[in-house]
A and B are shown apart, each in its own frame.
Chain A
C-alpha cells in the first residue's frame, strides 16, 4: 500500500528577482515521518519551508501539501499546519497563555477549547508556571518552546520547524529535542531545518542536505554517513605547522583527506590503524582524535566546505 505523501514537490524553484534561492528540488514526505533540511546559511531552507507553509508562492515546479494546491487552497492547508518560523513572532504585549488562546481563535477554535489546549500545551512545553507572565522577559529557549506550543494549538497534521533550536544553550536545546521527540512518538509529522548535525541525527528519520538551493544528498542519517563518509574519522592537529604541506605526505592513509584551516581530517574505516600509519610515517601530530563519522563529514565530503562556519 502506498500512502499519499503529505508533501510532494517536483522541480520546485523559488526566485527573488533574478536570484535563485531554491533551484529545482524534489521532495516526498510521508505521514508520521520526521524529515529534515540540513544546510548552511543561505542554502534555501527557509525559502523552501515558506513555500511548504503556503506563505510564499513557488516560481516554478509542482507542489502539493496534504494533497492540495498551496496557491489555490492556501487557507485550507494552513488550517492544518503548525508553523514555528525562523524568527519568533510572538505577541510581546500578551501573556504567555494569551499568545496561545488568541492564536487558537485564528483557527476558529471556541474560546473554552482554546483555553483548554493552551493549558495542556503549556504543560507539555513546561511553561505552566509562566502562563500569566508577559513574553518579553522569557529566555530564548522559553520563547522557542512557546512558539512550538503555539504551532500545536490547532492539532496540526504537519508541523514545520525552521531552526527550532538555533541560538539556544545546550540545556535548552536538549529540552526542546526531548519535546519534539515526544511529538514524533505521538505520530506528528515533523519537517525541520537545522545547521546542526547532532540535531538532524537526533530527530530526523530522513533528511536532505541542501547547498546553494539544491539537494546534494538524501537519506537517513545513517545511510548518508555510510554512503558519503567512512566509519571513522581521525582529526589530526599539528600546532602551527602549515597543514597543506602535509597533504602529500599523508597520501594513502585512509580513503580521503581533508585539510581544514586548523586540522586535518582522515577518513578511514579503521581509525586506529590510520593513526598507526601516521606514526609509522613519522608525522606524529600534536593532538589526535579518533571519532565516529558524522553528518558534518558528509557535508564536507559533498561540498568541500564545513557546515557551521
Chain B
C-alpha cells in the first residue's frame, strides 16, 4: 500500500483521537437506546404475535441496525468533511502540494471509514450480545460486512461531495438517498412484505444487501430460507459482489472527481 495513503489515513486517525471518547460513548449509547426502545418496547408487541422470521424482534432487527450504523457513519463522514476538505479546510489542497495523489486521499479516507465501521460494529455487538441478540459464531462476519458496506456507500458519496460546490445538495442526498435507503432496506421488516413495485428500491440499495448478509450471519441462518443450500451460496456471493461493485465503481468515481477538482 502506498505510504502516502497510509499518511492520509494517519491524519484522519490523529483527528479522530480528539473525538474518540465522545464517539465511543455514542457508539455504545445509540445501540443501547435502540435495544431498549424498539427491541424491547416494540418487540414486546411483535413477539406477542410470534416474532418475525422465527426469532424475537430484537434479534431480528439488531443485524440490520448494526449495518445501518456503519452505513450512516460512512455516508455522514463523506459529506461535509469531504466538501470541507476542498472548500473550507482545504486539506486536500495541502496534500496535493505534497507528493500525495488523489487515489491516496480517497484511499486514506475510505480506510478510515472502514475502521470506524469496525469500531462501531464491535461496540454494537457488545451491547446487543448482552441482550441475547447474537445466535451464531458467524456473527464475526458482520465485521467484514460492515467494513465492505462502509466503503461501498462512502465511496460514491465521497465522489458526490467532491463534485458539488454547495452543501445544499447534501439535503437532497439525505432526503432521496439516505432516508429511503434506511426505511426500505429490510431493517425493521422483511422487504417481501412491501408491495412488489417498491421492492426494487430495496434491491438497489447497498444497505439491503448488507442487512441480508448481516442477519444471516448473526442468526446463523441461510439468507433466503425458502431456497436450496446451493442457491443460498449463489445469493450470498451475489450480495457480496453487489456491494463490491458499488465499492469499486465508487472508488473510481471518487478518484476521478478528486483529480478533476484538484487540477486546473
Contact = CB atoms under 8 A, between A and B. Distances in A.
A289 interface: no
Interface in B215-264: 262-264
B81 to A, nearest CB: 10
Interface in A76-92: 76, 78-79, 81, 83, 85, 87, 89-92
Interface in A3-56: 16, 50, 53, 55-56
A78 B264 contact: no
Interface residues of B, number: 25
Contact of A56 (B14, B94, B100, B264): B264
B93 interface: yes
Given A92-B89, A93-B15, A94-B14, A106 B263 contact: no
A57 interface: yes
A108 interface: yes
A181 to B, nearest CB: 24
Contacts of B101: 75
A55 B263 contact: yes
B7 A108 contact: yes
Interface string A90-133: 11111000100011011110000000000000000000000000
A78 B6 CA distance: 18
Nearest to A106: B98
Nearest to A55: B96
Main secondary structure of the interface of B (DSSP, over half): helix
Interface residues of A, number: 28
A140 B99 CA distance: 26
B99 A78 contact: yes
Contact of A102 (B3, B7, B18): B7
Contacts of A102: 7, 10-11, 14
B4 interface: yes
B136 interface: no
Contacts of A53: 97
B14 A103 contact: no
B95 interface: yes
Interface in B71-118: 89-91, 93-101
A213 B59 CA distance: 68
Contacts of B96: 55
Given A94-B15, A105-B10, A55 B90 contact: no
Contacts of A107: 98-99
A106 B8 CA distance: 7
A16 B90 CA distance: 21
Given A76-B99, A106-B100, A89 B14 contact: no
Nearest to A160: B97
A149 to B, nearest CB: 13
A133 to B, nearest CB: 14
B98 to A, nearest CB: 4
Contact of A106 (B99, B262, B264): B99
Contact of A89 (B6, B8, B91): B91
Residue in B4, B95, B97 whose Cβ sees the most chain A Cβ within 10 Å = B97
Nearest to B92: A89
26 contacts: A55-B93, A55-B262, A56-B263, A57-B263, A75-B99, A78-B98, A83-B97, A85-B93, A85-B97, A89-B90, A89-B93, A89-B94, A91-B94, A93-B18, A94-B14, A98-B14, A102-B11, A106-B4, A106-B8, A106-B95, A106-B98, A107-B98, A107-B99, A108-B3, A108-B4, A108-B7
Interface of A: 16, 50, 53, 55-57, 75-76, 78-79, 81, 83, 85, 87, 89-94, 98, 102-103, 105-108, 154
